[in-house]
A and B are shown apart, each in its own frame.
Chain A
């Protein structure tokens, strides 16, 4: 199946700093990428949907100025957590969806564990 990578797999940062997480589709072009946040023992919370070359669409309640998403190419999307605070600590997962066709499922990255101290 299709492969999606995320980098870094874990990061610890100090409160007030910014952190960038990369999501790459390795063997397919992803016109659409999704960013999720997952709290312990909870489901995925969709944060935003990004389409290559256009602005991301954020879900209600997600601060677009805090969680900056850039989808500059068909294989790369980035999530930048700006001025991170301890409450931003979470597991962030990206997923990518191939262009419309028979493959309708999403392919997920391995996730990034963010800890803000």
Chain B
């Protein structure tokens, strides 16, 4: 079985400050990890993924995420938050083998204050 935990329902950060949205996972074997963002009343947009290789993955809109195998984490980060980054963020995981259906976390609402 595979699972994803996003321990924070909401993250608040001031504009210009660094942001972190946390994600931990559980999967059998090697993981494929993804981050998606959802703006109000819209579908999800793909941000970045980790498949293999460098543990630091860079994605869209200045976001990056670091894969930490020992801590089974894949936290999303950005050095300087923008008000326009305010949205709902979803982490997802699937095993590199077996079922190709990913499991999504419950989502974290990021609020960036001006």
Contact = CB atoms under 8 A, between A and B. Distances in A.
A95 interface: yes
Nearest to A109: B43
Contacts of A46: 101
Q: Is the interface of A mostly helix, strand, loop or mixed?
A: strand
A110 B42 CA distance: 5
Chain A interface residue bracket vs B: 20 to 34
A44 B20 CA distance: 22
Interface in B36-95: 36, 41-46, 49, 51, 90, 94
Given A43-B90, A104-B32, A4 B43 contact: yes
A6 B42 CA distance: 11
A93 interface: yes
Residue among A46, A49, A105 facing the most chain B CB atoms (10 A cut-off) = A105
Contacts of A107: 46
A44 B101 CA distance: 13
A35 interface: no
A113 B43 contact: no
A107 B45 CA distance: 7
Contact of A1 (B46, B90, B100): B46
A44 B104 contact: yes
Contacts of B49: 104-105
A91 B104 CA distance: 16
Nearest to A10: B41
Contacts of A1: 46
Contacts of B106: 42-43
Interface of B: 32, 34, 36, 41-46, 49, 51, 90, 94, 100-102, 104-107, 109
Interface of A: 1, 4, 6, 32, 34, 41-44, 46, 49, 91, 93, 95, 97, 104-111, 113
Given A42-B106, A93-B44, 20 more contacts: A4-B43, A32-B100, A43-B104, A43-B106, A43-B107, A93-B43, A95-B43, A95-B44, A97-B100, A104-B49, A104-B94, A106-B46, A107-B46, A108-B36, A108-B44, A108-B46, A109-B43, A110-B43, A111-B42, A113-B41
